[in-house]
Chain A
Amino acid sequence: EDQVTQSPEALRLQEGESSSLNCSYTVSGLRGLFWYRQDPGKGPEFLFTLYSAGEEKEKERLKATLTKKESFLHITAPKPEDSATYLCAVQAGGRGSTLGRLYFGRGTQLTVWP
């Protein structure tokens, strides 16, 4: 069964205090791993797609990495405006998979205080 587990559930950081969010997954034939940012009352905002182990992508203070079993979202010197829920999702490509559908984790709620 395809599964995505994110940890921690919640993370509080002081401004400038770097940290990492974890996303571990079990999926049949990974086609892609996705990171989203979601602000309260809004839809998820696309951040990154990673396709193969060893791949890394960066955007401002965020860096996403991928291994065969997990992905990390590294946040360097965060600011209060980085406060949001960060969602991880995987796309399966194994037999019987629904084309294009994503399996989501429950997210990590990040709070950055000044």
Chain B
Amino acid sequence: EADIYQTPRYLVIGTGKKITLECSQTMGHDKMYWYQQDPGMELHLIHYSYGVNSTEKGDLSSESTVSRIRTEHFPLTLESARPSHTSQYLCASTWFNEQFFGPGTRLTVL
């Protein structure tokens, strides 16, 4: 059983605000991922990390940034939110080839 925590679960903000979505895991997994999911669509990889101080962009063009200063923490930041950023954001970590997901953050930008 994997323990991945995401906060907040729901967020409604205005255009132009800076936001940080938190993701943490208590299992010591090295590989962590951020996905974006819209209703009825595939999960798209937006960022990933293989360990501390390692971050890469995924397939989906994203205006977000990530950091990995500690193994257990992988936050995602939007410097200036726009309505096009409205989506569900899912964090995941991998252990022995099995990927486990957090509960997600539903972001709405007005």
A24 → chain B, closest Cβ, in Å?
Answer: 14
Indicate if the CB atoms of B58 and A101 lie closer than 8 Å. yes
**A41 with B106, Cβ < 8 A, contacts A49-B98, A99-B50, A101-B33 known:** yes
Q: Report how many A-B pairs have Cβ atoms within 8 Å.
A: 61
Indicate if the CB atoms of B103 and A104 lie closer than 8 Å. no
Q: Which of B42, B56, B98, B104 contacts A43 (CB under 8 A)?
A: B104
Q: How large is the interface on A (under 10, 10 to 19, 20 to 34, 35 or more residues)?
A: 20 to 34
In angstroms, Cα B58 to Cα A46, docked, is: 22
In angstroms, Cα B50 to Cα A100, docked, is: 9
Q: What are 14 A-B contacts defined by CB distance under 8 Å?
A: A9-B40, A32-B97, A34-B99, A43-B4, A43-B6, A43-B92, A43-B103, A43-B104, A44-B43, A44-B90, A102-B99, A104-B42, A106-B40, A107-B40
Binding site for B on A (CB under 8 A): 4, 9, 31-32, 34, 36, 41-46, 49, 87, 89, 91, 98-107
| Pairs of residues from A and B, 4 with the lowest C-beta to C-beta distance, nearest first | A43-B101, A104-B43, A104-B42, A43-B104
